[in-house]
Structure 1
């Protein structure tokens, strides 16, 4: 970061810090501010000279404060982190603007322009780029996984502050304008201090839908057309001898309202409501856009002759709305805009009714847009006619952006994925097949026998499920889900839902189960050439990942499944899960299993003439596949991206990457850059066979070390439950979904998000690195000469470099001094000493081997910006950890927990999450 950029960042931090300090002084009193500064200074000194005993003294000193004083400290440090995050965000936005203002015409780093120039210089032709873009897909998929700790109210106030920071430097504001912006920031900071930091009630599924839609409407709907304009300008720059119109390769999906795996709140009705809310948001936006176009397109036919196609379309549409005023006769584009607006409003009105499944398709209402094609045809009619008469500025202006939005978002906004656990389908079909007289005891059959039963049934056409359902509630819910999907696709838009994801896929029958249930709801009708859903297996744990290719190979050999794929364009999407595999086998084994699975799956698809499209289920934290998304894409094995990629954007990551339009635009450009590069990989970035053999040795060793602690040490579960706030976090109402699958407290049933979240809170950060150090150390002890190989791998292999860099980032956010104090919470001191000794020793090994591989003397030595950010935060996040320790001990000592005490713990959880910027 340049000196002037550092100075601007420092100015923002001081402004926001001073406003917060003044707020604390005024509302909590000068003694509260003095206490904040005193504790911060002590923590800063402890950070400079770490000592477990000194850390315990600070903890004990804080333990003498009463609960109101502790909660005041929590609030002060938590809000400070939120403000620091905004200052750093503004610094990123400032840097992006500076690059775009630069005199040099070279594209900035990690942009579509940089990727296209590099590909051109390597000999990739314009035709190859055009062919690539024609089949490309980049689709971020938003999920509501509970790792966003902040309330929607708090996020809204932070967004308001971000807008004022923007205003203070845009267009060289006069002093009075800057002063007004500062006053507005002060008002929001005051409101932050006086607002509840944590939710009083758990959000509903529809609350989560609205939260996501707020970010999409505020930012993405303006950003996406700009991104496409940037791509097209970059194409013209790199390949000037060709006319370019980039196809709509960028789309967006959502799980919010469709992910029913272990979530009782996601009912068929909730799915329908999620679709409705999305469509209402988008249609309202389109109506505003059409009203704006109406004002712009005042072109009179006294100045030009409108085309016959346009005039016929106006007459045809006007007949659909006889009760409406006649459109302006002499202003044909305005007339068409008004009629498009009327059709959009009629489409909006149609959303009031709830779709209902019937055993026969229904005819769409006249004047209602059913899918994107009809709306696109109307809009393109205007644009084409403007171009025909020579009004090029208008033809390439605002209407072009509206067309682009419809290409990307249709009339539905985010394409909703459905997800359900494989066991739910098997259980439902066990009951359905028995009642239909097809098979007794389906669930107890062998995997091959289940596959045979399903394949036979799918080859036939007899219906098995009656219109009136008389099954168990659980089976009825499964059937009703498929029927609701059919109703939505027939009555709303065929683009609202197109994928059904199967959690815990472990055998080929799991995909045929979904296909059979889809057939019963009229979603799969091969005789009519119809298959409405991609059936997507989710391979999560280690063994399913290792078996993924054989499972798909067996399916691809079934005629009925190949017929389904033919109807879906011979494309098979496969989702790979980073979270559960990491929790089960550790970070290194998980990453290597995912890498290997992708290579094998793509090869299996290639041999069968089927395109394998990867869907990466990544979380925000390193322990769940997190880290910079563009680096993760570049780290994928050669040939597995090939222009098509879906990737989850989860929890706190959504606000971080899409909460500011400038950051959202940059993030999407980085995704495009990475996908372009990975689709035309450089030969020098491919792994040598010797490197693959190294990982084949390291990954099982790391898994053995990880499982030796986590699953094979009987006392470990006690340590985890007592040394982390996992029990208290069950009361943290940050998401609508339960933290566990089922009621069992076994580690296997705990979801990966609270697993990672709790280790971040207690500063161990264990899921992101445990096992790496020991595995590498063992390997080097046997073969010291291979250090040079590991270093060369770091320099030349994106996969290994990304894995090591992510590990050092999460190691840098750990703190073994503070982690030792969390170990003090364990009732049995001997147990705490034994487990913590193993964790701290493995931490030492990991830090050491990362340094040797990267050639650094300290973590993040070659990442100064990230290192500085973490160092700036530590003096503020450390006190929150000490306060949390005090409150956990008090809370656990009480027979009946005090509500305010629990609130204090949860507030500290919220603050630490903001400070570390990685939750789940």
Structure 2
């Protein structure tokens, strides 16, 4: 069957299984009387259709909304109109959940039509090929995948809604109409948002739900399968690791404190013991033989006490539990014909994977804060024994590297800062001490990574190491991996130079030896895109990876890149597995580490089934890229020069946009940017330096990308790409660009992900701005680049429509965009009314209306922001 036939078959199946069933259940849903106005569900289809027609005719949101009420609900006053719009929003929010549930319930049928990239697909490739099997076995011995859950403010349904979604998916699998009807009624009555902002601990608990109910089973299942197929039944090594940021990531989040870090670490410990205890109770029903009573009893006591009773003096009990399971296993082998030995092995594997910590809690802080803390130490007599405190900031980097003394002092800090002390400095020092405590109670892997955001020089890392030595750690027992995060275009350019200085520094060299000569480096997509535009960000990261791989290899150090990838292409997301499969030999790719955030968690890892599928694709990408390196991805000098030239053109175009006097004003006034802080789905502010006037550099990348996505313009995902391709065309390099797209997985993935971003844009919604006296010229500049990018990308790919080669994804996106179109229209209408209205009560109502539309638009995005 040809690729086009397979694509057509999958699209037909998608239409049958998802589109038709959604329309069927949606018609049932719209008849349910939930709210004050009983005919809301009946009116909604007319409202949706009216919005579609109005947008197609390029009418302004005000014209669309006002004409709807004139036609359908004449005679109601402004406040009642607002009330009706709120009711529409409440229905549409739940339509998004229904569509997600229908799509997820069809996942197994849809994925069976395409098992490329899965573990099953990998096994089919090696069937009967022993040489290939041996190569994969060898590769897996040094391969690892770390998935790190982060709490970014995109899609945080309350636990109650997540539970309904889970049950709804199961009911939809069997088309149990009565059950579906009941759950839709429950969904209609269940609140979707928090009345107050969550704390970092609340965010952690929301994400721990996925650890406990999804990852605990999915990772162990895949690890077992890999062991059976490629490890002769033995544990190859710990291929999978989980990381966790809520409660540890204090970069710019003033609400993350030492006590929240401690609470999250101990919650993770308690929850993993609850998972183990659940398994133990099932195990106890089967292991009922003589000779195991003592070991089973001891194991049960350990699990119960640690799962349900606070343990102030907890210990790392991983080896104790494994020892008891080994005793039970030996007894089964020797005395009971190895019956149920597979249950023991499965349980032991989970304990090996998750220990007493479940997921490693990463700590992250900005280098500027860490520099302030170090200077505080220099001015504290008991800490500093010889460094020039008053001139430290003025010293050159070379002088700092020579002078840092790495003196040890057990500085005791109180978690509640004394009057006059800087709380941030105090929290940093207390957290460093706490990391030692967490390792003692939960195991070394519980908290062993410190990430330095905005890392610009080698001294940023060495100064932090000295802070550890001031807070109770010793040089020989510094069981911490220090990880620089390079994220701006300029920082990426100098990353290799920074790391070479570290690799040559005697103290750091010794530390790396003790850590197994392994270095982890984090690269951030979000801020680099905000900093330099889509094409330049991707190219800068690619170049940085090549240079960092070469310099690290030179010093015989093993390198792992940790990619800060968000949901949408503008923040490094998109088809993530294709990104890793496209890495050539020039880039270290033995260890895949990436962040999972926002709705990417629920969309790609919301069920055991979807989680296994997406995790297997990442494993497949990491393994096959090494076994079948596509030599075309080893970009030659000519292709590198072509991409570099295009990236420069894109950067120039994007920087001109950033410097436009209306750039931040356009975002502030026409998008919900200023109101994002009122959305109670995150504990963190929308920008750093929250009290200061808005500066682009302080604006968090997620707020930046979210604002553009709410405008339905998705500028960070495409702006400058069209101009870059045009430059190649004008320079007579078009044929080379087309050939590059066909041959380079890296370049193809980058362009395809940009097309995904563009497919979620709809400039018709803001077309009325073309004639706006203040913003008309600026809007037209954005639209012209969109049109140029679309035309050039379609010509480059040889297609007639965006995402033509991904028919199912294209259809899914189109359905979601259609569902939320009324929300987008309402949002833009409410923003306009907010600017025009003097009445304070109405202003408050329109602000709330804007905020409520953001929820549904973001939740529908699944990789939107």
**TM-score higher than 0.5 here?**
yes
The answer to whether the 8 A contact 1:539-1:575 is kept is: yes
Give the CA deviation at 1:94: 2.8
**Residue equivalent to 2:711:** 762
The answer as to 2:302 corresponding to 1:343 is yes
Give the CA deviation at 1:159: 2.2
Give the CA deviation at 1:434: 2.0
C-alpha distance in structure 1 between counterparts of 2:223 and 2:209, whole Å: 22
The 5-angstrom pairing of residues 66-77 of structure 1 reads: 66-77=81-92
C-alpha distance in structure 2 between counterparts of 1:334 and 1:3, whole Å: 57
The answer as to 2:502 corresponding to 1:551 is no
Query: Match for 1:707 among 634, 644, 655?
Result: 655
**Residue equivalent to 2:208:** 213
The answer to whether the 8 A contact 2:450-2:480 is kept is: yes
**Residue equivalent to 2:5:** none
- SS of aligned partner of 1:129: helix
**Residue equivalent to 2:326:** 380
TM-score, normalised to structure 1, is: 0.86
The answer to whether the 8 A contact 1:260-1:267 is kept is: yes
Give the CA deviation at 1:143: 0.3
**Residue equivalent to 1:290:** 280
**Residue equivalent to 1:747:** 696
The answer to whether the 8 A contact 1:43-1:875 is kept is: no
Superposed CA deviations along residues 793-848 of structure 1, whole A, max 9, x for unmatched, are 22221111111111111111100111334x48xxx933311100100000001101
**Residue equivalent to 2:521:** 574
**Residue equivalent to 2:4:** none
C-alpha distance in structure 2 between counterparts of 1:34 and 1:725, whole Å: 29
The answer to whether the 8 A contact 1:62-1:886 is kept is: no
The answer as to 2:118 corresponding to 1:111 is yes
The answer as to 2:50 corresponding to 1:42 is yes
Gaps of 5+ in 1: 100-106, 170-177, 237-241, 300-330, 354-364
**Residue equivalent to 1:302:** none
- SS of aligned partner of 1:538: strand
**Residue equivalent to 1:838:** 781
For the aligned residues, what is the CA RMSD?
Answer: 2.5
The 5-angstrom pairing of residues 16-31 of structure 1 reads: 16-24=25-33, 27=35, 31=39
The answer as to 2:136 corresponding to 1:129 is yes
The answer as to 2:443 corresponding to 1:493 is yes
The answer to whether the 8 A contact 1:523-1:533 is kept is: no
Give the CA deviation at 1:235: 3.2
Please, which moves more after superposition, 548-557 or 80-89?
A: 80-89
**Residue equivalent to 1:225:** 220
The 5-angstrom pairing of residues 372-521 of structure 1 reads: 372-389=318-335, 391-396=337-342, 398-436=343-381, 437=384, 438-441=387-390, 443-448=392-397, 451-452=400-401, 455=404, 457-458=405-406, 461-463=407-409, 465=411, 472-521=422-471
Give the CA deviation at 1:2: 6.0
The answer to whether the 8 A contact 2:582-2:746 is kept is: yes
The answer to whether the 8 A contact 2:651-2:720 is kept is: yes
Give the CA deviation at 1:199: 2.0
Give the CA deviation at 1:484: 0.9
**Residue equivalent to 1:307:** none
Give the CA deviation at 1:402: 1.2
The answer as to 2:669 corresponding to 1:722 is yes
The answer as to 2:844 corresponding to 1:907 is no
**Residue equivalent to 2:824:** 881
The answer to whether the 8 A contact 1:344-1:369 is kept is: no
- SS of aligned partner of 1:495: helix
C-alpha distance in structure 1 between counterparts of 2:130 and 2:643, whole Å: 33
The answer as to 2:739 corresponding to 1:792 is yes
Give the CA deviation at 1:263: 1.1
The answer to whether the 8 A contact 2:676-2:686 is kept is: no
C-alpha distance in structure 1 between counterparts of 2:621 and 2:54, whole Å: 41
- SS of aligned partner of 1:191: helix
The answer to whether the 8 A contact 2:410-2:472 is kept is: no
Query: Match for 2:40 among 28, 32, 35?
Result: 32
* Change beyond 3 A, Cα 1:683–1:591: same
* Change beyond 3 A, Cα 1:348–1:87: closer
**Residue equivalent to 1:90:** 105
C-alpha distance in structure 2 between counterparts of 1:751 and 1:407, whole Å: 37
Aligned residue pair count? 834
TM-score, normalised to structure 2, is: 0.92
- SS of aligned partner of 2:208: helix
Give the CA deviation at 1:679: 2.9
The answer to whether the 8 A contact 1:161-1:188 is kept is: yes
The answer to whether the 8 A contact 1:764-1:814 is kept is: yes
Query: Match for 2:197 among 193, 197, 202?
Result: 202
- SS of aligned partner of 1:830: coil
The answer to whether the 8 A contact 1:587-1:770 is kept is: yes
- SS of aligned partner of 2:361: strand
The answer as to 2:182 corresponding to 1:187 is yes
Gaps of 5+ in 2: 1-9, 71-77
**Residue equivalent to 2:7:** none
* Change beyond 3 A, Cα 1:195–1:348: closer
C-alpha distance in structure 1 between counterparts of 2:233 and 2:96, whole Å: 48
The answer to whether the 8 A contact 2:62-2:829 is kept is: no
- SS of aligned partner of 1:502: strand
The answer to whether the 8 A contact 2:242-2:359 is kept is: yes
Superposed CA deviations along residues 124-156 of structure 1, whole A, max 9, x for unmatched, are 555543343222210000000112253443333
C-alpha distance in structure 2 between counterparts of 1:641 and 1:43, whole Å: 49
Give the CA deviation at 1:377: 2.4
Superposed CA deviations along residues 159-179 of structure 1, whole A, max 9, x for unmatched, are 22123223x26xxxxxxxx3x
Please, which moves more after superposition, 248-257 or 148-157?
A: 148-157
Give the CA deviation at 1:604: 0.6
Give the CA deviation at 1:63: 7.1
**Residue equivalent to 1:362:** none
The answer as to 2:836 corresponding to 1:893 is yes
C-alpha distance in structure 1 between counterparts of 2:671 and 2:156, whole Å: 17
* Change beyond 3 A, Cα 1:149–1:910: farther
C-alpha distance in structure 1 between counterparts of 2:309 and 2:38, whole Å: 58
